[in-house]
């Protein structure tokens, strides 16, 4: 089986695939135009967030048998269409869960203590000790929207920090650290809200002006899931009015953004979609990609 690696993958696991008899070409700088021409020569492909696999590309590749996305979610792939064409589509849903959960918890702590502002003040040679009275997150209510692999890892960590955890998820059942509620109940009761759902037609803009209006004054929001789940214009207005005291965002409607207004808001912490960007997660992703491809080739 001939495989093309379209995005960065750990070399150790590329060698594992080759040792198992797969022919592997690493093209982690390939452009969309080049991929359209070259992908028909391959039986399988490995992608991350950079490479998009849409219907027009799929239609060019009658020999394609498998697509593996290293990461959580399949929003960069027209996976239902691919599966209709007989192409197996896989991802690595658990490999980066701990890394994204840790980033989420880190953001909760940063928002509670305004650490981004404190650090900026110190770097400006200021000693504003009395200007930064924050909050403890222990005893506060965390609303988790989406109780899959990442949501569960966040709930575990939040419970250890003494937070009361509510969850909203249309499919998952309650866990030992979390109580299931309706979305409206979560919005009304939460001091902090974090999102861990894929972006779909249903979840797109699920948090907008109407949802912000139901939240507590001074709520804080973390989104390490996907851009477009939180309406960015509505979030900016909620931040400007003070309804939302702070937001931490790892994902955006456009990546990289073309409009930086929201990111530049003084009460926003932002990062360039780094939820899975840890050495440990990258190793687990590479290992799972190799495992899935080798197993598929041996069927």
Neighbours of 149 (CB within 10 A): 17
Helix axis angle for 97-113 and 279-297, nearest 10°, is: 160
Mark out the alpha helices in 39-135 (DSSP H runs).
Answer: 55-59, 79-84, 97-113, 115-123
3-state secondary structure at position 17? helix
- Cβ neighbourhood burial of 12 (10 Å; 0-12, 13-18, 19+): exposed
Long-range pairs for 197-202: beta carbons < 8 A, 24 or more residues apart: 197/145, 197/146, 197/148, 197/169, 197/225, 197/226, 197/229, 198/72, 198/73, 198/74, 198/75, 198/225, 198/226, 199/73, 199/75, 199/225, 199/226, 199/227, 199/228, 199/229, 200/75
Catalytic residue numbers read: 226, 255, 273
Residue in 258, 210, 254, 216 with CA at minimum distance from that of residue 235: 210
First to last CA, the chain: 12
Residue in 154, 157, 126, 36 with CA at minimum distance from that of residue 4: 36
């Amino acid at each position: 089986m001939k495989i093309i690696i379209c995005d960065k993958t750990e070399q150790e696991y590329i060698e594992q695939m080759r040792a198992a008899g797969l022919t592997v070409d690493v093209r982690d700088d390939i452009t969309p135009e080049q991929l359209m021409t070259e992908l028909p020569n391959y039986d399988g492909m490995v992608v991350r967030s950079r490479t998009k696999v849409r219907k027009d590309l799929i239609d060019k590749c009658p020999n394609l048998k498998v697509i593996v996305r290293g990461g959580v979610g399949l929003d960069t792939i027209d996976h239902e269409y691919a599966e209709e064409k007989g192409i197996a589509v896989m991802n690595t849903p658990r490999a980066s869960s701990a890394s994204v959960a840790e980033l989420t918890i880190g953001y909760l702590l940063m928002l509670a203590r305004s650490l981004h502002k404190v650090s900026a003040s110190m770097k400006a040679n200021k000693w504003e000790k009395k200007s930064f009275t924050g909050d403890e997150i222990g005893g506060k209510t965390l609303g988790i929207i989406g109780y899959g692999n990442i949501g569960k890892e966040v709930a575990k960590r939040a419970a250890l920090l003494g937070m009361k955890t509510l969850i909203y998820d249309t499919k998952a059942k309650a866990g030992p650290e979390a109580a299931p509620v309706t979305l409206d109940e979560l919005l009304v009761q939460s001091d902090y809200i974090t999102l861990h759902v894929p972006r779909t037609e249903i979840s797109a803009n699920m948090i907008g002006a109407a949802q912000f209006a139901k939240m507590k004054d001074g709520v804080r929001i973390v989104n390490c899931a996907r851009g477009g789940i939180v309406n960015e214009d509505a979030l900016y207005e909620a931040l400007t009015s003070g309804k939302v005291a702070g937001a931490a965002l790892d994902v955006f409607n456009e990546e990289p953004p073309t409009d930086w207004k929201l990111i530049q808001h003084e009460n926003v912490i932002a990062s360039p979609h780094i939820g899975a960007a840890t050495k440990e997660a990258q190793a687990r992703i590479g290992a799972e990609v190799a495992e899935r491809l080798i197993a598929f080739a041996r069927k």
